[in-house]
Structure 1
Amino acid sequence: MNPLLNQPFSTPYQTPPFSTFETKDFKPAFLHAIKNARLEIKNIAENQAEPTFENTIEALALSGEALSRISSIFFNLNSAETNDEIQQIAQEISPILSDFSNDVLLNEQLFARVKKVFEEKESLSLNNEAQMLLEKSYKNFKKNGALLSSENKEKLRTISKELAMLSLQFGQNLLAETNDYQLHITNKSDLEGLPDFALETAKEEAESRNLSGWVFTLQMPSYLSFLKFARNRKLREQIYRANGVKAFQNNDKNNTEIIKKIVRLRFQRAKLLGFETHADFVLDERMAKSKEKVNNFLAELLKKAYPLAKKEIENLADFAKGIDGIEDLMPWDHAFYVEKLKKQRFDLSDEELKPYFELNQVTEGAFTIAQKLYGISFVPNNKIEVYHPDVKVFEVKNKAQECIGIFYADFFPRVGKRAGAWMTSFRDGSFVNNLHKIPQISIVCNFTKPTKNEPSLLTFDEVTTLFHEFGHALHALLAKTQYESLAGTNVYWDFVELPSQFMENFCYEPEALALFAKHYQTREVIPKELVDKITASAQFMEAYQTVRQISFGKLDMAWHATDPSSIDDVDVYENQAFEATQVYPKISGTNMSTSFAHIFQGGYSAGYYSYKWAEVLDADAFELFKENGIFDTETAQKFHRLLSAGGTVDPMKLYIEFRGKEPDINALLKRAGILAQ
Structure 2
Amino acid sequence: MTQTPAQNPLLSDFAAAFGLPDFAAIKPEHYRPAFDAALAEHRAEIDAVAASAEPPTFANTIEALEKSGRSLEKVANVFFVLAGADTSDALEAVERDISPLLARHSNALYLNAPLFKRIDDLYARRETLGLTPEQARVLERYHTRFVRAGAGLDKAAQDRLAAINEELATLGTKFSQNVLADEKAYALILEEGDLAGLPDFARAAAAAAAEERGHKGKYAITLARSSCESFLQFSSRRDLREKVFEAWIKRGENGGATDNRATIAETVKLRAERAKLLGFATFADYRLDDQMAKTPAAARKLLDEVWGRARAKALVERDALQEMIAAEGANFKLAPHDWRYYAEKLRKAKYDLDEAEIKPYFQLDKMIEAAFETAQRLFGLTFTPANVPLYHPDARAWDVKDKSGAHVALFIGDYFARGSKHSGAWMTSLRDQQKLIGDTRPVVLNVCNFTKPAAGEPALLSFDDARTLFHEFGHGLHGMLSNVTYPLLSGTAVSSDFVELPSQLYEHWLEVPAILERYARHAKTGEAMPKALLDRLLATRTYGQGFATVEYTACALVDLDVHGRQDDTPLDVTAFERDDLERIKMPAEIVMRHRLPHFSHLFSGGGYAAGYYSYMWSEVLDADAFEAFEETGDAFDPATAQRLRDFIYSAGNLRDPAEAYKAFRGRLPAVDALLKKRGLDDVAA
TM-score, normalising length: structure 2: 0.96
Classify 1:399/1:125 alpha carbon distance in 2 versus 1 (closer, same or farther; 3 Å): same
2: CA distance, partners of 1:298 / 1:566: 27
Alignment of 1:609-628 (within 5 A): 609-628=613-632
Residues 240 and 332 of structure 1 are in contact (CA less than 8 Å); yes or no, is this contact kept in structure 2? yes
Question: Which of the numbers 569, 573, 586 marks the counterpart of 1:582?
Answer: 586
2: CA distance, partners of 1:278 / 1:427: 31
Q: Which residue in 1 is equivalent to 2:389?
A: 385
Q: Which residue in 1 is equivalent to 2:84?
A: 79
Q: Which residue in 2 is equivalent to 1:366?
A: 371
SS at match of 1:436: coil
Q: Does 1:323 align with 2:328?
A: yes
Q: Does 1:397 align with 2:401?
A: yes
Query: What amino acid is aligned across from residue 100 of structure 2 in structure 1?
Result: P
Q: Which residue in 1 is equivalent to 2:150?
A: 145
1: CA distance, partners of 2:447 / 2:585: 31
Q: Does 1:600 align with 2:603?
A: yes
Residues 571 and 591 of structure 1 are in contact (CA less than 8 Å); yes or no, is this contact kept in structure 2? no
Q: Does 1:657 align with 2:660?
A: no
Query: What amino acid is aligned across from residue 210 of structure 2 in structure 1?
Result: A
Query: What amino acid is aligned across from residue 561 of structure 1 in structure 2?
Result: G
With 477-486 and 444-453 compared, the bigger mean Cα shift is at 444-453
SS at match of 1:426: strand
Deviations 1:581-627 (A, max 9, x none): 51224889x99110111111141001000111111100000111112
Query: What amino acid is aligned across from residue 549 of structure 2 in structure 1?
Result: T
The structural deviation recorded for 1:263 is: 0.3
Question: Which of the numbers 497, 506, 509 marks the counterpart of 2:509?
Answer: 506
Q: Which residue in 2 is equivalent to 1:427?
A: 431
The structural deviation recorded for 1:564 is: 4.8
The structural deviation recorded for 1:567 is: 4.1
Question: Which of the numbers 308, 311, 314 marks the counterpart of 2:319?
Answer: 314
The structural deviation recorded for 1:201 is: 2.1
Q: Does 1:53 align with 2:58?
A: yes
Classify 1:636/1:572 alpha carbon distance in 2 versus 1 (closer, same or farther; 3 Å): same
Q: Which residue in 2 is equivalent to 1:414?
A: 418
The structural deviation recorded for 1:431 is: 0.5
Deviations 1:651-675 (A, max 9, x none): 1111111111111200111111111
Residues 210 and 219 of structure 2 are in contact (CA less than 8 Å); yes or no, is this contact kept in structure 1? yes
Question: Which of the numbers 222, 232, 249 marks the counterpart of 1:244?
Answer: 249
Residues 10 and 30 of structure 2 are in contact (CA less than 8 Å); yes or no, is this contact kept in structure 1? no
Question: Which of the numbers 182, 200, 210 marks the counterpart of 2:214?
Answer: 210
Q: Which residue in 1 is equivalent to 2:564?
A: 561
Q: Which residue in 1 is equivalent to 2:449?
A: 446
2: CA distance, partners of 1:586 / 1:304: 15
Residues 547 and 590 of structure 2 are in contact (CA less than 8 Å); yes or no, is this contact kept in structure 1? no
Question: Which of the numbers 251, 274, 281 marks the counterpart of 2:279?
Answer: 274
Q: Does 1:674 align with 2:677?
A: no
2: CA distance, partners of 1:43 / 1:193: 67
1: CA distance, partners of 2:110 / 2:84: 27
1: CA distance, partners of 2:547 / 2:377: 34
TM-score, normalising length: structure 1: 0.97
The structural deviation recorded for 1:162 is: 0.2
Query: What amino acid is aligned across from residue 655 of structure 1 in structure 2?
Result: Y
Classify 1:23/1:472 alpha carbon distance in 2 versus 1 (closer, same or farther; 3 Å): same
Residues 284 and 560 of structure 2 are in contact (CA less than 8 Å); yes or no, is this contact kept in structure 1? yes
2: CA distance, partners of 1:204 / 1:613: 39
Q: Which residue in 2 is equivalent to 1:35?
A: 40
Q: Which residue in 2 is equivalent to 1:255?
A: 260
With 475-484 and 503-512 compared, the bigger mean Cα shift is at 503-512
2: CA distance, partners of 1:302 / 1:221: 27
Q: Does 1:524 align with 2:530?
A: no
SS at match of 1:252: helix
Q: Which residue in 1 is equivalent to 2:472?
A: 469
SS at match of 1:218: coil
Deviations 1:500-521 (A, max 9, x none): 1111111222122123111222
SS at match of 1:445: strand
2: CA distance, partners of 1:555 / 1:62: 40
1: CA distance, partners of 2:628 / 2:404: 28
Structure 1, unmatched stretches of 5+, are none
Q: Does 1:233 align with 2:270?
A: no
Query: What amino acid is aligned across from residue 170 of structure 1 in structure 2?
Result: F
Alignment of 1:641-652 (within 5 A): 641=646, 642-652=648-658
Query: What amino acid is aligned across from residue 348 of structure 1 in structure 2?
Result: L
The structural deviation recorded for 1:545 is: 1.2
Classify 1:240/1:178 alpha carbon distance in 2 versus 1 (closer, same or farther; 3 Å): same
2: CA distance, partners of 1:285 / 1:530: 46
SS at match of 2:541: helix
With 341-350 and 174-183 compared, the bigger mean Cα shift is at 341-350
2: CA distance, partners of 1:669 / 1:39: 53
The structural deviation recorded for 1:7 is: 4.5
Aligned residues: 673
Residues 508 and 538 of structure 1 are in contact (CA less than 8 Å); yes or no, is this contact kept in structure 2? no
2: CA distance, partners of 1:618 / 1:544: 21
Deviations 1:322-356 (A, max 9, x none): 13525300010011111111111111122111111
Q: Which residue in 1 is equivalent to 2:3?
A: none
1: CA distance, partners of 2:670 / 2:430: 35
2: CA distance, partners of 1:587 / 1:147: 43
Q: Which residue in 2 is equivalent to 1:540?
A: 543
With 577-586 and 273-282 compared, the bigger mean Cα shift is at 577-586
2: CA distance, partners of 1:247 / 1:142: 35
SS at match of 2:445: strand
SS at match of 2:54: coil
Residues 51 and 117 of structure 1 are in contact (CA less than 8 Å); yes or no, is this contact kept in structure 2? yes
Query: What amino acid is aligned across from residue 195 of structure 2 in structure 1?
Result: L
Query: What amino acid is aligned across from residue 234 of structure 1 in structure 2?
Result: D
The structural deviation recorded for 1:232 is: 0.5
SS at match of 1:410: strand
Q: Does 1:107 align with 2:112?
A: yes
Classify 1:567/1:536 alpha carbon distance in 2 versus 1 (closer, same or farther; 3 Å): farther
2: CA distance, partners of 1:98 / 1:324: 59
With 225-234 and 304-313 compared, the bigger mean Cα shift is at 304-313
Query: What amino acid is aligned across from residue 334 of structure 2 in structure 1?
Result: L
2: CA distance, partners of 1:82 / 1:74: 9
Alignment of 1:133-172 (within 5 A): 133-172=138-177
The structural deviation recorded for 1:305 is: 2.2
The structural deviation recorded for 1:304 is: 2.4
Residues 508 and 534 of structure 1 are in contact (CA less than 8 Å); yes or no, is this contact kept in structure 2? no
The structural deviation recorded for 1:568 is: 3.6
Deviations 1:23-64 (A, max 9, x none): 110000000000010110011011111100010011112210
Q: Does 1:333 align with 2:376?
A: no
With 222-231 and 369-378 compared, the bigger mean Cα shift is at 222-231
Classify 1:6/1:31 alpha carbon distance in 2 versus 1 (closer, same or farther; 3 Å): closer
2: CA distance, partners of 1:173 / 1:436: 40
Q: Does 1:349 align with 2:354?
A: yes
Q: Which residue in 2 is equivalent to 1:515?
A: 518
SS at match of 1:639: helix
Query: What amino acid is aligned across from residue 670 of structure 1 in structure 2?
Result: K
Classify 1:550/1:567 alpha carbon distance in 2 versus 1 (closer, same or farther; 3 Å): farther
The structural deviation recorded for 1:204 is: 2.5
1: CA distance, partners of 2:195 / 2:426: 31
2: CA distance, partners of 1:322 / 1:531: 29
Residues 553 and 609 of structure 1 are in contact (CA less than 8 Å); yes or no, is this contact kept in structure 2? yes
SS at match of 2:535: helix
Residues 547 and 581 of structure 1 are in contact (CA less than 8 Å); yes or no, is this contact kept in structure 2? no
SS at match of 2:450: coil
Question: Which of the numbers 492, 495, 504 marks the counterpart of 1:492?
Answer: 495
Query: What amino acid is aligned across from residue 507 of structure 1 in structure 2?
Result: L
Residues 551 and 581 of structure 1 are in contact (CA less than 8 Å); yes or no, is this contact kept in structure 2? no
Classify 1:587/1:636 alpha carbon distance in 2 versus 1 (closer, same or farther; 3 Å): closer
The structural deviation recorded for 1:562 is: 2.0
**Once superposed, what is the RMSD of the aligned Cα atoms?**
1.6
